[in-house]
Amino acid sequence: MAELWEGSLEKIDDYRWRIPKSYKPGMRVPGIIYADEKLLKDIRHDKAAEQVANVAFLPGIVNASLAMPDIHWGYGFPIGGVAATDIENGGVVSPGGVGFDINCGVRLVRTNLQYEEIKGKKIEELANRLFSDVPSGVGSKGEIRVTSKEERGILIKGSGWAVSKGYGTEEDLECTEENGAIKGADPEAVSERAYERGKAQSGTLGSGNHFLEIQVIDQLYGRQDCDELGLDLGQVVLMIHSGSRGFGYQICDDYVKNMIHCLQKYNISVPDRQLACAPVNSPEAKQYLGAMRCAANYAWNNRQCLMHLARKAFEKVFFKSWQDLGMFLIYDVAHNIAKIEKHIIDGKERVLCVHRKGATRAFGPGHPALPERYKKIGQPVIIPGDMGRNSYLLAGTQKAMEETFGSTCHGAGRLKSRSAALRSVNFNVLLKELESKGIMIRASGRGTVVEEAPEAYKDVNEVVNVVHNAGIAKRVCRMRPLAVIKG
Amino acid sequence: MCNKGPLAQSVEQDTLNVKVDGSTPSWPTNPSLKNYEFIDHTADIGIRVKGRDLKGLFLNAAEAMFDIIAEPPVSVQGKQIIKTNVDLKADNSEELLVAWLSELLSLSYAKELIFYGFEIKQMDKNSLQAEASGINTEDCEIKTEIKAVTYHELKIEKTGSGWQAQIIFDV
């Protein structure tokens, strides 16, 4: 572990802590960390809080450099960081504020299946089928083949490409952030190398913390909200976590390199080169945003293809169509992205560039960006936990609109480094432990499973308590894993 | 892209100047003599790597990165060796180190190769020309996907006995 962070933190209330602007010369706004006293102790154990302060250097940043309770040490931005810059006042975009895995995100699919109907052999059959039919692992290649002309179509149409091929429905698009395709994607801003890295990876899960999970709902919080969403206790759901694969990594890499030169050109001073940035209105930023949106659309299409493959796997196991199995998409959210959004700042509507780096959009009820079906309850927010504990479905709130630019946490957040997990976790012991909890694992590599062991993560229940109690999302229901498919 | 088995002659490939030849150098990594150590980073992987001079530092950093990515095969005998030229420029040695590792990583994924041998033909603080030898990814056991090389906490320092660098990879 890194040295203990001993910077100053002022208590605002039970769930918010301020790093004052005076902490470091150059900070334009304070930092605000959402956490309770217990989580704060973990947060002080690495350099995440220092990174919150560093992000406060970004030109045009408004209100505060924010951190969600799943915050941990990243590179440049902390993971769990939210920062919004005012475009008209020299606000910048930073590729490091989005990260390499552009539009890494998660989707939740409901089913009509009940845990009692599928427990035991059927879950095993399903896990085996998903593991064999959904390509996973490092550099895995997909069965869904895409020509280079089609690849450009994906970058513009996002999930709409998959739907046009029959890999889903219009309703799936309605239940995806940005309808599965953010506008303003510019395929011309994408390097040949990025095309080359992304060519065979559509419809692949990838490795690391990416996964596909069969889960069961084990706790309801809002009966009415659950009824609206068609969710009940004991119901089986499917969660998919993946991103833009090598395509997105290359775009981020290309543009961080490019924007290091912008620091001098636009006279910008930041304490970490990974925070390289450029004014949103500059040609460099426009090019980056055009390329980033291509990667975002690539990722939405990827998750749509993964869901299609998963639906087909369920069909093979249950001899029913996915529609008869009730496998409808609840929602799909991005958690590494920069978006141009309107928010109220000091009583006035401003156009902001909102960076969410390991954070989820959580728009409150009535927001015009939400589909009709979610206008009443607010945007569904999907929070994956670790493979041994829980995951959550939350809903966005008005308070999130007021305090966090409509953002909330994105997961449990890492606690232990991968090497620390490899040192302390035994693969066979872990597998037995998970088995005793009724959790089945299918993975391409042992290393990934050990690195992603539950003890390497914060307890997602504690993280969700904070966002719920702070009011920046509300709990809808909780799930526990039954089978985990990993790369 | 790759045929199995040794080839009798070198073949030039595309504009990236990828060559295929039949030579079979041995895999250089001896697991008991690693030229790098891990430094703890919560989400990602950090390493500290040393070299007698800058060139040695760059070579060791590249070897370390691919040692994290893949298990070396028992032998490269009979496997097709593909050579790739790398030609880079940067504003300073730290950015050159990130450019070098990023280029190798990106080529590795784009060309589906694991690099194991590196020859730096020319380098100064701002530029580098090198040749990297790789074998097909399918012939290797992959351990970890490194997504990218970051500039975060990047350091190159002169030490009593040579040079040392700290690099954080996004995984």
pLDDT for A72? 93
pLDDT for B151? 93
pLDDT for B75? 78
**C-beta neighbour count of A90 within 10 angstroms:** 16
> pLDDT, tens digit, for every residue of A280-290?
999 999 999 99
Grade residue A451 by pLDDT with cuts at 50, 70 and 90.
confident
A5 in contact with chain B, both atoms CB, cutoff 8 A = no
B-chain residue closest to A200, CA distance: B110
Q: Inspect the interface and report whether the beta carbons of B152 and A256 lie closer than 8 Å.
A: no
Contacts of B110 in chain A (CB under 8 A): 193, 196-197, 246
Grade residue A316 by pLDDT with cuts at 50, 70 and 90.
very high
Mean pLDDT of A26-38: 97
For chain A, domain boundaries = 10-486
B-chain residue closest to A252, CA distance: B148
Contacts of A100 in chain B (CB under 8 A): 147-148, 170
Q: Inspect the interface and report whether the beta carbons of A249 and B148 lie closer than 8 Å.
A: yes
Mutate to test the interface with A, among B42, B150, B153, B166 (most CBs of A within 10 A): B42
pLDDT for A417? 84
Q: Inspect the interface and report whether the beta carbons of A46 and B42 lie closer than 8 Å.
A: yes
Compute, in degrees rounded to 10, the torsion defined by CA atoms A372, A375, A377, A379: 90
Contact A109, A307 (CB under 8 A): yes
Q: Inspect the interface and report whether the beta carbons of A208 and B171 lie closer than 8 Å.
A: yes
Active site residue A410: yes
Cα B154 from Cα B44, distance rounded (Å): 14
A204 has a pLDDT exceeding 90: no
Q: What is the CATH number of domain A10-486?
A: 3.90.1860.10
Percent of chain A with pLDDT over 90: 84
> Measured between alpha carbons, how far apart are the two ends of chain A, in Å?
26
Q: CA quadruple A73, A79, A84, A90: dihedral positive or negative?
A: positive
pLDDT for A353? 98
A418 has a pLDDT exceeding 90: no
Mean pLDDT of A262-279: 96
Structure tokens at A279: 């004014």
Cα B98 from Cα A257, distance rounded (Å): 9
Q: Inspect the interface and report whether the beta carbons of A48 and B42 lie closer than 8 Å.
A: yes
Q: Inspect the interface and report whether the beta carbons of A138 and B145 lie closer than 8 Å.
A: yes
B94 has a pLDDT exceeding 90: yes
Mutate to test the interface with A, among B147, B149, B154, B155 (most CBs of A within 10 A): B147
> pLDDT, tens digit, for every residue of A83-95?
999 999 999 999 9
Contact A34, A466 (CB under 8 A): yes
Q: Residues of A111-133 as b/e, b for ≥16 C-beta within 10 angstroms?
A: bbbebeebeeeebeebbbbbbee
Q: Which residue reads 């980056």 in tokens?
A: A288
Contacts of B102 in chain A (CB under 8 A): 253, 257
Full DSSP string of A396-414: --HHHHHHSSSEE--S--B
Q: Residues of A372-385 as b/e, b for ≥16 C-beta within 10 angstroms?
A: eebeebbbbbbbbb
A354 has a pLDDT exceeding 80: yes
Contact A29, A63 (CB under 8 A): yes
Residue in A72, A241, A343, A410 annotated catalytic:
A410
Structure tokens at A184: 């303003």
Contacts of B170 in chain A (CB under 8 A): 75, 99-100, 249
Mean pLDDT of all residues in chain A? 94
Grade residue A137 by pLDDT with cuts at 50, 70 and 90.
low
pLDDT top residue among A474 and B1: A474
A448 has a pLDDT exceeding 90: no
B90 has a pLDDT exceeding 90: yes
Specify the range with the lowest mean pLDDT, choosing from A174-188, A438-452, B115-129. Answer: A438-452
> For A422, phi and psi rounded to 5 degrees?
-60, -35
Q: Give the B-side interface with A, CB within 8 Å.
A: 38, 40-45, 91, 95, 98-99, 102, 106, 109-110, 112, 137, 142-145, 147-154, 168, 170-171
Full DSSP string of A19-73: E-GGGSTT-SS-EEEE--HHHHHHHTTSSHHHHHHHHTTSTTB-S-EEEEEEEEE
Closest CA to A50 of A31, A69, A70: A31
Mean pLDDT of B97-115: 95
Q: CA quadruple A365, A368, A373, A379: dihedral positive or negative?
A: negative
Mean pLDDT of A117-139: 87
Mean pLDDT of A198-223: 83
Specify the range with the lowest mean pLDDT, choosing from A147-151, A152-156, A387-391. Answer: A147-151
A420 in contact with chain B, both atoms CB, cutoff 8 A = yes
A10 has a pLDDT exceeding 80: yes
**Residue A176: strand pairing partners:** A332
**Which residue from A79, A252, A256 is facing B43, i.e. has the nearest CB?**
A79
> pLDDT, tens digit, for every residue of B136-165?
998 888 888 899 999 998 999 999 989 999
DSSP-based helix, strand, coil % in chain A, nearest 5: 40, 25, 35
Mean pLDDT of B34-42: 83
A246 in contact with chain B, both atoms CB, cutoff 8 A = yes
A375 has a pLDDT exceeding 80: yes
A173 has a pLDDT exceeding 80: yes
pLDDT for A2? 60
Highest-confidence range of A296-310, B5-19, B35-49, by mean pLDDT?
A296-310
Q: Inspect the interface and report whether the beta carbons of B109 and A253 lie closer than 8 Å.
A: no
Please name the helix (run of DSSP H) or strand (run of DSSP E) that holds residue B158, with its range, or none: strand B155-159
B-chain residue closest to A74, CA distance: B43
Q: How close A134 gets to chain B, by Cα (Å)?
A: 18
B-chain residue closest to A452, CA distance: B43
pLDDT top residue among A418 and B7: A418
pLDDT for A207? 64
Q: Inspect the interface and report whether the beta carbons of B145 and A99 lie closer than 8 Å.
A: no
Q: Inspect the interface and report whether the beta carbons of A419 and B151 lie closer than 8 Å.
A: no
Amino acid at A221: Y
Q: Inspect the interface and report whether the beta carbons of B147 and A101 lie closer than 8 Å.
A: yes
The ipTM is: 0.86
pLDDT top residue among A350 and B28: A350
Mean pLDDT of A357-380: 97
A416 in contact with chain B, both atoms CB, cutoff 8 A = yes
Grade residue A143 by pLDDT with cuts at 50, 70 and 90.
low
Q: How close A223 gets to chain B, by Cα (Å)?
A: 36
Contacts of B101 in chain A (CB under 8 A): none
B-chain residue closest to A206, CA distance: B145
Grade residue B26 by pLDDT with cuts at 50, 70 and 90.
very low
**Which residue from B45, B91, B109 is facing A139, i.e. has the nearest CB?**
B109
> For A226, phi and psi rounded to 5 degrees?
-65, -40
pLDDT for B14? 36
A481 in contact with chain B, both atoms CB, cutoff 8 A = no
Cα A411 from Cα A328, distance rounded (Å): 23
pLDDT for A70? 96
Q: Inspect the interface and report whether the beta carbons of B152 and A76 lie closer than 8 Å.
A: yes
Q: Inspect the interface and report whether the beta carbons of B106 and A72 lie closer than 8 Å.
A: no
